[in-house]
Amino acid sequence: MNLTDRARQRCSWLPSTDIPEGPRYKTLADQIATSVANGELKPGERLPPQRLLADALEVTVGTITRAYREAERRGLVEAKVGSGTRVRDAGMERPDFHHLSRATTDSIDLSLSIPIPNPLRTQQLSAIMAQLAEQPAQLDNALHYQPEQGNTQQREQLAAWLTSLGLDTRAEDLLLTIGGQHADYLTLQSLIRPGEAVASDALTYPGMIAAARQLGLKHLPVSMDREGMRADALERLCQRQRIRLLYLLPEHNNPTVTQMSQRRREEIVRIARKYDLLLLEDGVQFVRPELRGTPFYHLAPERSLYIFSVSKILSGGLRFGALRAPANLMQQLCNGLRSQCWASPGLMGAVTCDWLSSPDSALLINWQWDELTARHAILEKTLSGYEFMSHPCGFYAWLHLPEPWRASDFVEQAAQRGVTLVSPEPFCVGSQPAPQAIRICLTPPAHREALEIGLTRMAELLAEGPRLSAPLV
C-alpha cells in the first residue's frame, strides 16, 4: 500500500493528486474551496492531519500549513488548537436576537434588494486582493487605459464563467460596464435617439424609468398578467406607436416577480421582428440555471441585448457588469461608452473577474441560493393565507394587500412597527396608478431570525387592518 492509499484509508477527503499549475499551497486551497462548494467537504468536517497529507502529496508540511492558512483566510475553514482544521459553516454565527424582540422599535429593513450579508464576502474579497497584489504583470495590465469594450482577459474570464452557468457567451460578445444600471443607461444612450420611445412592463425596475426620463425618451407601459408583459397589449401598442426598444425582465420582474413562459417569449419575439424592436433583457437579478428560461439572445440573436452584473451575487459596491450585444451594435455601444468614461475600470474588473473565476465565488453564490430557499420558507410560513408572488431565487416577494389596505398606509404603519418597506410608486411607468401591493425584500437582514421578526410584524399589521388617520371631513 502506498502513502496515498494509506492516507485515503484514514481520511474521508483527500485533494486530487493531479496538480494544477500555480503555487502548490494556492492550488491546494483552491481544491479545498471547490470541495466545500460542491459538498464533498461538509461543514464541520475535519481536514486531513497536516503531516499525513504532506507525506501523501509528497510536499513539505510547510506547504500544507500555508494552504490551510490560505483556506482559513478565505473563510473556508477554521483551525482550533487540539481539534485540527475543520470546514466552517458558510452561514453565520448565531447572534443574540433579544434586542430585536417585538417590544422594541428597532427597524428591520425589508426595502432593499441587496445580497444577503455574510462575512465570507469580505474574507473572500480580501484573499482575492492579496493574490492579485502578488501578480505584478496583472496589476500592470489593470493600470493601463483599457479598450472601450473592456479588458480582453477579463472578458474571457467572464464569458467562461457565464457559459459555465448556462449563459453561453464569447468574449467578443461582451462589453464591460460599471454595473447593470450603467449597461441599461448606456444601451438607451447609444442606441435610442432623444424623443424616440421605449416600452416595458407597466411595473418595472426604477433605474430603467430614471434612465429613460433622464435621456428624454418616451417610456410606454405595457400591461401585465401573471407572466409579465402581455403580448396582445404589446402588439396593440406597436400598432399605435413607433417603439424602438423593449425592456424585458423575463426571469424575474422587479418588483412583481413574474416569470415568462417559453410561449410568451416566442410571442414577444414574433412582435419584435414584425415591428423591428430591439430587445433589452436585464438579467441582473441572477437566477439559478435550472430555473431560468431561454434568454432572448437565443430566440432573436440579431436584435437582443443581455445585461449581467455581479451586484446581486458578489456585491453592488464593485460596480461591475457587462452587456452582451449583437456584433452589428457593438461599435455604437463602444462609442457611447467611450464618450462617457473611455472604458470601465481595469482594476475593478481584475478583482471581480478573479473572484468570479475562483472556486470561492461558487461557495458564496450557492450558499446564497440555499439561504434564499430557507428565507422563502419563512415567508411562506409567516404570511400564509395572504396572496403573494415569489420565486425561489428571488430577493423579494410581491404582496397583494388585502382590502381595505392601501400601500401608502401600509408602508407608513409598518415603519411605525419598525419595518422599513418601499412604496410601489417608484416602479410605475409614466402615470400608471400604483397597485395596492408591496415588494418585500428578504435579503437585507443579516440573520433569518430578524427576517422572521420583520415578517411577523407585517403579518400582525395585516391582520389588524389599517388605522384610520385621514380627516373625515
Sorted by sequence, the CB contacts under 8 Å of residue 465 that are 6+ apart come out as 404, 405
The least CB distance from residue 315 to ligand PLP, in Å, is 9
Residues 468, 198: Cα–Cα separation, whole Å: 40
| Least distance CB 69 / ligand PLP (angstroms) | 33
* Shortest Å distance, C-beta 308 to ligand PLP: 9
Phi, psi (deg, nearest 5) at residue 121: -55, -50
Comparing CB distances to ligand PLP, the nearer of 228 and 316 is 316
One-letter amino acid of 27: T
Q: Which CB, 316 or 349, lies closer to ligand PLP?
A: 316
Nearer to ligand PLP, 311 or 382 (CB): 311
CA 175, CA 279: separation in Å to the nearest integer? 17
For the chain, what's the residue count? 473
Cell numbers 473611455 correspond to what residue?
342
> Between 395 and 410, whose beta carbon lies closer to ligand PLP?
395
Residues 401, 402, 407, 412, CA torsion sign = negative
To ligand PLP, the closest distance from the beta carbon of 240 in angstroms equals 27
Residue (180 or 250) nearer to ligand PLP, CB:
180
CB of 269 or CB of 323, closer to ligand PLP: 323
In angstroms, what is the minimal distance from the CB of 279 to ligand PLP? 15
Which residues are registered as beta bridge partners of 197? 218
Taking Cα atoms as reference points, which of 387, 400, 388, 393 lies closest to residue 375?
393
Q: Is 429 helix (H, G, I), strand (E, B) or coil?
A: coil
What grid cell was written down for 59? Answer: 510536499
What are the counts of helices (DSSP H) followed by strands (DSSP E) for the chain?
Answer: 17, 16
Sign, CA dihedral 191-195-197-202, equals positive
Smaller CB separation from ligand PLP, 48 or 321? 321
Q: Which three cell numbers stand for residue 410?
A: 401600509
Report the nearest approach of ligand PLP to the CB of residue 204 (Å): 8
For the CB of residue 180, give the shortest distance to ligand PLP in the complex, in Å. 3
Give the Cβ contact number of residue 430 at 10 Å.
12
In degrees, rounded to 5, the angle at the alpha carbon of residue 115 between the alpha carbons of residues 89 and 311 is 130
Instruction: List interacting residues with ligand PLP (CB under 6 A).
Output: 113, 179-181, 205, 207, 249, 254, 282, 284-285, 309, 311, 316, 321
Nearer to ligand PLP, 84 or 426 (CB): 426
Place of cell 435579503: 443
Least distance in angstroms from the C-beta of 307 to ligand PLP = 7
